[in-house]
Amino acid sequence: MSFYKQVTSKPWEYQGPVTGSGPESAFEKESERIALTLFLVVVCVIFSLLTVTYYLRMDLGDWVPLADPAMLWLNTAMLLLGSVALQRATGCARKGLTRQARNAFVTGGAFAALFVAGQCYVWLQLDSSDLGVASNPSSAFFFLLTGMHAVHLLGGLWVWSKTSFRLFSTDDSAGVRLSIELCTTYWHFLLLLWVLLFGVLLST
């Protein structure tokens, strides 16, 4: 029974167990995938609120636009490559190509770690150029937005390291396929989020 039909049904009319032989699920997906989707929505809310406050604070008069460091383009490339590598890992895992899946998965994580390292370099660079976090609201927001994004990526790297451990401790990558797929989804999401944030930073 479709979700719409369910919520408009008249439950007081007797119908017995109404559906198939298995337990009820609203979506034909793994629970982990549903939970990740929900989590991504929560992350979207966090960054939407940050972006709204960014634009509101910008109008308050003391805002001095920040020249975004060129290094950010290189970092963006790292994140993009990380996403591509994880997509490949997913493809290989689906085909049962364990060795290739391992290589691609590790590469994807390494690129993400390089992205975080690159962001750290940018923060140090800004700090040493007297554009530190307290210098101006634009700098404060730069550190806040990029920092929050990096924290989410670090969380992803923690899950990635656990998945890597499982991937290398078994010959069969099918068992960890779901974890690889979820990591890939998360990587793509953080790439998209970064592109949007970068766009906001560049345009202001």
Residues found near another protein in the complex (CB under 8 A): 1, 3, 6-14, 16-31, 34-35, 38-39, 41-42, 45-46, 49-50, 53, 56-57, 60-62, 133-134, 137, 140, 144, 148, 178
Of residues 143 and 194, the one with the C-beta less far from another protein: 143
Residue of 151, 156, 141 whose CA lies nearest to 50: 141
Rounded least distance, CB 127 to another protein, Å: 11
Residue 5's contacts (CB-CB under 8 Å, 6 or more residues apart) are none
Distances from the Cα of 41 to the Cα of 16, 34, 50, 189, angstroms: 35, 11, 14, 10
Given the complex with another protein, which of 27 and 158 has the nearer CB atom?
A: 27
Closer CB to another protein, residue 18 or residue 192? 18
**Closest separation between CB of residue 77 and another protein, Å?**
28
Q: Give the residue with the Cβ less far from another protein, 10 or 171.
A: 10
What is the residue-wise DSSP string for 184-202? HHHHHHHHHHHHHHHHHHH
Closest approach of Cβ 74 to another protein, in Å? 26
Shortest CB 151 distance to another protein, Å: 10
Query: In the 3-class helix/strand/coil scheme, how is 157-194 assigned residue by residue?
Result: HHHHHHHHHHHHCCCCHHHHHHHHHHHHHHHHHHHHHH
